[in-house]
Chain A
Amino acid sequence: MKRPHRRMHLMVWLIIAPVTAIVAFTFWDLRPVTPYDELPAAIQKLNPGEAD
């Protein structure tokens, strides 16, 4: 008797692995250079008085 899902496991991972890796890395690479918790200080530095 066949175990029908083994081949499907491979097919699913052939799709999921590259798509997830590319999307995740692209999004991560496009993250803000300045972390959110440093934004007030960064804005204050660029435009004093506008970070409140």
Chain B
Amino acid sequence: MGHEYKAIQWNKNKAVYDVYVFIAVAIFIGVFMAVGLQTHPSGHTADPVVLLIRALGATAFAMLTAILVIGPLARLSPRFLPMLYNRRHLGVMTFLVASAHFGLALLWYHSSGPLNPFVSLFASNPLYDSIPGFPFETLGFAAFLILFLMAATSHDFWLNNLSAPVWKMLHMLVYPAYALLILHIVLGALMMEKSMVYPIITGAAFLIVSGLHLYTGFREWAADSGMKSLKTKGWIDVGAPNDIPNMRALIAPLPKGDRVAIFRYDDKISAVTNACRHQNGPLGEGRVIDGCITCPWHGWQYKPDDGISPPPFTEKIATYNVRIENGRVFVDPKANPPGTRTEPAIISVQGRLPQCP
């Protein structure tokens, strides 16, 4: 965590994950090219290089679509939470595939003339007022620049130096990048596509991504608004102890718009802020692992009772006082200063777990 910078936190699980993604990318490209070679219009010769350029572009688009649905799916169901853990790796790999698409297209279409390929990219087609002839490559290039910026700043060095809010804001540019990619595809490949398969797939991908983000966004907005309307001043009833899955949390909105994550770890219940110190990740969507609350985004850990990261780390998050009365869990909406130890509410005395170091 905070004691050193790591570009990518490699471990065995991530290495295995990367191998699986690499194999999936190779299969996707292979199938795309095989289908393309088999289904090209009769009387025309399919160009393998052009097909490879399109296959790489389609792969990058599919990967980015997958990345963008992970967040809302994880908010809808904890089954998708493990996918959050490797999302940054998938993002960097998406950039690499997009680089191959961009590089090959630049070489194939813009390197044989007298102009510098980058100059040719912008100067060879000035038909900005035409729909069928629009230089769609510029839209893809803009999206590629955003992906480059994100991949280049995925290092924790940038996260620490830019600060979490700025870094997160920067990485939210992925949404405009996705919109640019949609237009790049529509004004490019789909302009000359006879089959309805590609328009349907592209439209469905965009509808799924935007629909999931809007649905989860409105759901959280409604939950927050409902809690604000209560205007609660005292302790807040967040439910019964059994409403909280063991080793997981219940996320409750607070009257001022904050969110608290109430964790149950065997016979104890503790409450901390829902925002991780690292990137404001949703701690309440994480799990208790080895006695520590573990952020689902990048694995940062905190002890549930005082919100302090285990040694040698030093990060601290705010804690909340919690108690159990008449079979209900109550949380004090007033946050304690980060690192303040609070007494866990005890459900029973059975089955204690390993303590966080």
Residues on A lying within 8 angstroms of B by beta carbon are 1-10, 12-14, 16-17, 19-21, 23-25, 27-28, 30-32, 35-37
Contacts and interface: CB of A to CB of B under 8 A. Distances in A.
B192 A17 contact: no
Interface centre among A6, A21, A25, A37 (most CB of B within 10 A): A6
A12 B175 contact: yes
B315 to A, nearest CB: 13
Interface string B214-236: 10011011000000000000000
6 smallest beta-carbon distances between A and B, as pairs: A10-B217, A17-B210, A1-B273, A20-B179, A13-B213, A1-B275
Report whether over half of chain A's contact residues are helix, strand or loop; otherwise say mixed: helix
B190 A28 contact: yes
A21 B251 CA distance: 33
Given A13-B214, A32-B192, 15 more contacts: A1-B273, A1-B318, A6-B220, A7-B217, A8-B172, A10-B214, A10-B220, A13-B217, A16-B210, A24-B206, A27-B134, A30-B132, A32-B132, A36-B191, A37-B44
Interface string B153-188: 000000000000100110010011011001100110
Q: How large is the interface on B (under 10, 10 to 19, 20 to 34, 35 or more residues)?
A: 35 or more
Report whether over half of chain B's contact residues are helix, strand or loop; otherwise say mixed: helix
Contacts of B183: 20, 23-24, 27
Interface centre among A3, A23, A32 (most CB of B within 10 A): A3
B182 A20 contact: yes
A5 B168 contact: yes
B191 A31 contact: yes
